[in-house]
Amino acid sequence: MMVNRSSILPQALDPHPFAPITSRPHRTGLGPIGTSLGPPLDTVFQAPSSLRQNRKRLYSIHLHRNDQHREPPNNIFRAVILLLGFILPHLTATAADAPARPNILFAIADDWSYGHAGAYGCKWVKTPGFDRVAEQGILFTHAYTPNAKCAPSRSCILTGRNSWQLKAAANHVCYFPAEFKTYAEALGEHGYFVGMTQKGWGPGVANDAAGKPRQMAGRPFNRCKAAPPTPQIGNNDYAGNFEDFLAAAPKGQPWCFWYGCVEPHRGYEYGSGIAKGGKKLSDIDRVPSCWPDNEVVRNDLLDYAFEAEHFDRHLARMLDMLEKQGLLDNTLVVVTSDNGMPFPHDKGQAYQDANHLPLAIMWKQGIRKTGRVVDDYVSFIDFAPTFIELARVRWDQTGMAPAAGRSLTDLLFSDKAGVVNPARDHVLIGKERTDIGRPNDGGYPIRGIVKADKLYLHNFEIARWPGGNPETGYLDCDGGPTKTEVLKTRNDPKQRAYWEQCFGKRPEHELYDLKKDPDCVTNLAAQVDQQALRSQLQQQLFDELKAQDDPRMFGKGSVFDEYPYAEDKFRDFYNRVLRGERLNPGWVNPSDVQTKGE
């Protein structure tokens, strides 16, 4: 039972004085309080510095009154004794009632965008599993990945560091540096049974210093198979494999499981959303303004929705399974996606729908007040510090590199909705090489900041093609009906704006008002009345990047282009295609290749 501390403490004191110390704003890397073996709770739940400061403040005020009124000194000690007599009983009760180290279920979809869930008001994507987690936990409205591509996004989740702090792991399909340990590896060394199914970290190669493959997200459980609803959907019985994991978990030992779905990643069975999902084109209330609004695009969106629902069905089965086994109450359930939907302008880019992602968190024994909607800015680098803290492991015991993120326990242990912690007022985003298709396997480097519903982006190499070169098929965007429809507009003066917004070259500075322009099609960066805001956001962005030792800030950004692509058969792809080699990467259509003009 969690005590409502705000009702038992004077308003002058910290309203959450016995929450874990890392539940308040801090730079992780100092690490949470606790030990790996589940220490006595009084070493984990401590009166924070703010409470100690309040004690000092009250003591100082009392001294001042003594000087004024020349009260006997023993009144000072009487006041201190009264204060301690009030506080200590509540400290003991709270520590005794704190939940045990939670189990952790981390459910991550593949290419699922923010807003596409019933809990967010979406009518054309049915997500009862996600909605249950939101209703019985917390729904987040401003959760972002630092890098909107599979491998680098997952690198951020697993390490608690931004992609530009991870050397080669800033890139897609990389050789993951052995020096960066993951939270899953750390928890496995500190008393947790750790497993995963299907897609953990990747694509890429992750070996330890001795060249042995690493289990980045845990021991694989992939035995169970099931007939998929369409040939394009994977045959992994995700929930069945989770059941296998639970059966293998030693009784009484906390566990951590990574549910790595590969839906709604492309490809899709065209028309499946209508034919098999029972949907209608008119169900879609709005098509983003960076694409044509036609039957093909709407069908593509419904097919994407059908695959997102496949992810959610397995999530719902997992929740029911936990409930039946009596495990749900002390399981931290986190549901999100690695990056935005696999459509032009989204996945692999840095606009709002690329990095802004769904997030709901449930933990019945831990979250103080459920059913809340929280508007604080949250980054994926916050997950690892949260898991490590709740596992009661000090960060310096993990062997992990210092984290740039901070634990989410300030939000979990609050009873507020809306903005809970005003210090969480922005996130940083960016990218390097998120796919091949440019000369010398170069990336398209971007850094950005999202703050107060404004998005500022700094493009470092504006002579390059942001979606990959036309003559190799814009390989930084997966092939599909919507991409084909956008590419058709390149030579149509009336519709060319779609192609420009999705695949055209970009200026150095971009600035968007996300409330008025969530699709990011009206760049405000050149407007005179926006120069002060643009400069302010750029300065804050660069200051923070310098503090994080981002090579781009010190003239060393070329190092990201020099890290080799981990698949030999596609390395130096652009130059080999121009020399006449016939290479098929497998994720674009032949019609995506465009060779006439710019």
Mean pLDDT of 255-270: 98
Of the listed ranges 47-56, 368-377, 415-424, 512-521, the least confidently predicted one is 47-56
pLDDT at 2 over 70: no
Same structural domain for residues 158 and 306?
yes
Q: Tens digit of pLDDT for each residue in 95-137?
A: 334 478 999 999 999 999 999 999 999 999 999 999 999 999 9
Mean pLDDT of 63-90: 41
CATH code, 190: 3.40.720.10
In a domain, 87, yes or no: no
> Which pLDDT does position 466 carry in this prediction?
97
> Which pLDDT does position 270 carry in this prediction?
98
In a domain, 85, yes or no: no
Same structural domain for residues 306 and 445?
no
> Which pLDDT does position 75 carry in this prediction?
52
First to last CA, the chain: 64
Q: Tens digit of pLDDT for each residue in 436-485?
A: 999 999 999 999 999 999 999 999 999 999 999 999 999 999 999 999 99
Mean pLDDT of 307-327: 98
Q: How many CA atoms, within 13 angstroms, populate the side-chain half-sphere of residue 491? A: 5
> Which pLDDT does position 597 carry in this prediction?
53
198 to each of 83, 107, 333, 478, how far by Cα in Å?
Answer: 55, 11, 18, 20
In a domain, 38, yes or no: no
In a domain, 446, yes or no: yes
Domain that holds residue 267: 103-421
Same structural domain for residues 293 and 349?
yes
The count of other CB atoms within 10 Å of the CB of residue 69 is 8
Cβ(325)–Cβ(96) under 8 Å? Answer: no
In a domain, 47, yes or no: no
Structure tokens at 137: 């936990």
Could you say which of 391, 421, 451 is where a domain stops?
A: 421
Mean pLDDT of 254-266: 98
What average pLDDT does the chain have? 87
Same structural domain for residues 392 and 417?
yes
In a domain, 7, yes or no: no
> Which pLDDT does position 100 carry in this prediction?
85
> What single-letter amino acid sits at 67?
D
Residue 408 φ then ψ, to 5°: -90, 10
Cβ(501)–Cβ(517) under 8 Å? Answer: no
Instruction: Give the percent of the chain with pLDDT over 90.
Output: 82
**Residue 402 pLDDT level (bands cut at 50, 70, 90):** very high
pLDDT at 64 over 70: no
Could you say which of 380, 403, 421 is where a domain stops?
A: 421
Same structural domain for residues 402 and 465?
no
Cβ(310)–Cβ(127) under 8 Å? Answer: no
> Which pLDDT does position 247 carry in this prediction?
98
C-alpha to C-alpha distance for 484 and 496, rounded to whole angstroms: 13
C-alpha to C-alpha distance for 501 and 523, rounded to whole angstroms: 10
CA Rg value for the chain: 25
Number of domains in the chain: 2
Same structural domain for residues 451 and 517?
yes
**Residue 62 pLDDT level (bands cut at 50, 70, 90):** very low
> Which pLDDT does position 93 carry in this prediction?
33
Sign of CA dihedral 128, 132, 138, 143: negative
Residue predicted with more confidence, 542 or 54 = 542
Same structural domain for residues 146 and 241?
yes
Could you say which of 421, 445, 460 is where a domain stops?
A: 421
The string of DSSP codes covering 166-201 is SGGGGSSSEEE-TT---HHHHHHTTT-EEEEEE-SS
Same structural domain for residues 452 and 402?
no
C-alpha to C-alpha distance for 475 and 576, rounded to whole angstroms: 14
> Which pLDDT does position 45 carry in this prediction?
35
Please name the residues in contact with 271: beta carbons below 8 A apart, sequence gap of 6 or more. 299, 303
> Which pLDDT does position 39 carry in this prediction?
33
C-alpha to C-alpha distance for 450 and 355, rounded to whole angstroms: 10
pLDDT at 536 over 60: yes
Cβ(357)–Cβ(113) under 8 Å? Answer: yes
Sign of CA dihedral 378, 379, 380, 386: negative
> Which pLDDT does position 595 carry in this prediction?
81
Mean pLDDT of 497-512: 98
Residue with tokens 């779609």: 498
C-alpha to C-alpha distance for 504 and 496, rounded to whole angstroms: 10
In a domain, 74, yes or no: no
Q: How many CA atoms, within 13 angstroms, populate the side-chain half-sphere of residue 382? A: 27
> Which pLDDT does position 552 carry in this prediction?
98
Mean pLDDT of 526-553: 98
C-alpha to C-alpha distance for 364 and 408, rounded to whole angstroms: 16
pLDDT at 80 over 60: no
pLDDT at 261 over 80: yes
In a domain, 513, yes or no: yes
Same structural domain for residues 416 and 468?
no
Cβ(335)–Cβ(130) under 8 Å? Answer: yes
Residue predicted with more confidence, 42 or 189 = 189
Same structural domain for residues 394 and 537?
no
> Which pLDDT does position 126 carry in this prediction?
98
Same structural domain for residues 451 and 564?
yes
Mean pLDDT of 202-217: 98
Same structural domain for residues 451 and 327?
no
